[in-house]
Structure 1
Amino acid sequence: MLDYLIPRLSFAGGHLRPGDDGVDYLPRGRVVVTGDMLVGSTDVPPGAPMESVGWKAVTASLSDLAATGARPVLVFVEMGLPPEMELDELKRIWSGIEMARDRYSVMVAGGDTNSCRDPVLAVFALGEAERPVPRGGSRPGDLIGVTGTFGRAAAGLHSILTRDLDHSWEALRRSFLWPVARIEAGAVASRYATAMIDSSDGLARSLYDMSRNSGLGYLIERLPVDDEVTRYALTHGLDPERLVLGGGEEYELIITFDPSSERQLREELASVGCELIVIGRVVEGRGVWRVQDGAVVQVPELGWSHFGR
């Protein structure tokens, strides 16, 4: 296994080389460090291609970097693999990791392997930022913006789990299996954002996380519903609003910013191929609410919880 993996690692340009106990490099800005973990039994649906497992493991960590405004430099991949796993399966997982490496121009500089009953991929990511953006920096009166519509990944997962593999829903399935971290959008938004978070745990839960960090409230005045999600939900008897608020695995960015910055932020996001959708505003008080049928109602804390029941 190591004979296969070590020659595929990146050299960071310091004194230590692939196969050493660590990596060294000279940073060019403020260093941001994050990590994420993918567990086979809870994060990988039956039939998912092994390549997408490697891709998502890297993308999840890099999305956390994007949410701080950092650009990725290198990742470490820690793998716990079942002893009975065939080398071909490992190669397919690693192929997905290399696809993400190339897509995000990041070095895969090292990691570790161990035996584990349930496959686990933990990715430690290191990036650099001129101005790291926190989750809790929102101010009353800020606008809330997102970098795309919501619900596609949740609808795609439903399609996979129910084995509704109709070609009409292929794009939704790809949204779940092959998400993309908003690296360029995060770097642009960091110049204007007062706070930022990625939406991998769902729109509602991510806003609650921002509220806990800022002590402020987040009022949704427009749900960023994807038209294809609405069509899928109506076809399958699902609630599209629940898919939008609680689906998760979106990897869009949620940004709060001063209203005076809206035009500049919108234009600069468009220059990197990203749309700004304003969905509400930051208010006094703590919690998440939405405007529904002319009334303000509290939003339940829907979304992914690792230890939820």
Structure 2
Amino acid sequence: MKNPDEVEIISIFQSRFGQKSSFVPEDLEILAMANRNFAVKSDMLVQSTDVPTGMKLHQVARKSMVSCVSDFACKGVKPRYATISLAIPQGFTRKMINDLADGFAQASREFDVKIVGGDVNKGKEIVIDVSMFGIGTGKITTKGRGKKRVMFIITSGPFGYSSSGLKIILGNIKAEPKFVKKCKKSVFLPTPRLEFGLRAARYFSSSMDSSDGLSTTLNDMSRLSKKRFVIDAVPTGKDVETFAEKKRMSLTDLVFCGGEEYEIVATVPAKKIQAVRRLAKRLDVPLFEIGRVTSGKNVSLRDGERETPLKRCGWVHLRS
């Protein structure tokens, strides 16, 4: 019998917490307290699995905050406070600690999130656990079922740059310098769509952060909404297509199976899509309309008259 992966481990924990435990892994938790909706998110960064070669310590610290901010963004909730717990290896110098502190400070300013506490311990490698908190003042977008109406599927940006970047970094693959720089920036300095999410969420019928991979996100949304997602446009750039063709890589894998893209994936009713388009243009967000929601189940990729199933293929910790 194989050992459980991340998804199975969370399911086991949920079963022990009682019938009222219904949290969804890798998403924002909304807690009703004192007649207010409190939003909570925790995310852990581990050096050996989350930090590629060449990433600087201030970038590592910032990325640990980005992971939480992205989940707030897709739900249209402003993150306000954060606590940070760290495991630091023996031998870390004062300069290294200062570099981490600079990254946390940069993220705090960039996303207007106040760091209010945490913990420090010794470990064999860098581990950063961030917990973030906010208050939902309006409609909080869920992943629930939608009504029977025409629904667009959108993403807040292109996919394929992070996965291309990881292949370039880890596999020492050569490519055009401009493309390499763009991909490495996507890996080292990911930027969540916080302002767009805060202003666009009221138009969404459902939404998720895409950091575990686009195919995983789409399949989760399809399952939770009990609807079929038909994808007829691949959200990427011409340079990713050229890279895939030259290196004889699967474009579908680069775009749908990568992960580490902190984009918003959402469904939008047809009567609200024009408002989302205008907002994206105003905020200079590269909106991609990638498909439609229909009756049925699962996710399929349509190319002309041909349709193929789009299976989950994103990142899952501990999967053998």
TM over 0.5, yes or no? yes
C-alpha distance 94-232 of structure 1, shift in aligned 2 (>3 A): farther
Alignment partners' CA distance in 2, 1:135 and 1:179: 24
Correspondent of 2:131 among 124, 127, 136: 124
Alignment partners' CA distance in 2, 1:31 and 1:243: 36
| Residue 134 in structure 1 maps to residue 133 in structure 2 | no
* TM-score (normalizing by structure 1): 0.86
Alignment partners' CA distance in 1, 2:246 and 2:106: 34
TM-superposed CA distance for 1:232, in Å, is 2.2
- CA shift digits 1:112-158 (9 cap, x unpaired): 11112121111111123321111234445311011111101111111
| Aligned pairs (5 A) from 1:1-309 | 30-129=37-136, 130-140=138-148, 141-164=150-173, 167-168=177-178, 169-309=180-320
Unpaired runs of at least 5, structure 1: 1-26
TM-superposed CA distance for 1:304, in Å, is 0.8
* TM-score (normalizing by structure 2): 0.84
SS of the residue 2:183 aligns to:
helix
Matched letter for residue 143 of structure 2: R
Alignment partners' CA distance in 1, 2:224 and 2:188: 30
Greater shift in the superposed pair: 176-185 or 43-52: 43-52
Alignment partners' CA distance in 2, 1:186 and 1:30: 17
Alignment partners' CA distance in 2, 1:180 and 1:114: 28
Alignment partners' CA distance in 2, 1:69 and 1:273: 18
Alignment partners' CA distance in 2, 1:102 and 1:228: 32
The equivalent of 2:5 in structure 1 is: none
Tell me, yes or no, if the aligned pair for 2:84 and 2:131 is still in contact at 8 Å.
Answer: yes
Alignment partners' CA distance in 2, 1:263 and 1:281: 15
Tell me, yes or no, if the aligned pair for 1:138 and 1:282 is still in contact at 8 Å.
Answer: no
Matched letter for residue 145 of structure 1: I
TM-superposed CA distance for 1:68, in Å, is 1.0
C-alpha distance 138-176 of structure 1, shift in aligned 2 (>3 A): farther
Alignment partners' CA distance in 2, 1:52 and 1:154: 18
Q: How many residues align?
A: 283
Alignment partners' CA distance in 1, 2:285 and 2:82: 25
Greater shift in the superposed pair: 136-145 or 100-109: 136-145
Greater shift in the superposed pair: 281-290 or 230-239: 230-239
Matched letter for residue 78 of structure 2: R
Tell me, yes or no, if the aligned pair for 1:139 and 1:282 is still in contact at 8 Å.
Answer: no
The equivalent of 1:12 in structure 2 is: none
Unpaired runs of at least 5, structure 2: 1-33
Tell me, yes or no, if the aligned pair for 1:36 and 1:122 is still in contact at 8 Å.
Answer: yes
Alignment partners' CA distance in 2, 1:50 and 1:165: 25
SS of the residue 2:133 aligns to:
strand
Greater shift in the superposed pair: 255-264 or 230-239: 230-239
Tell me, yes or no, if the aligned pair for 2:219 and 2:311 is still in contact at 8 Å.
Answer: no
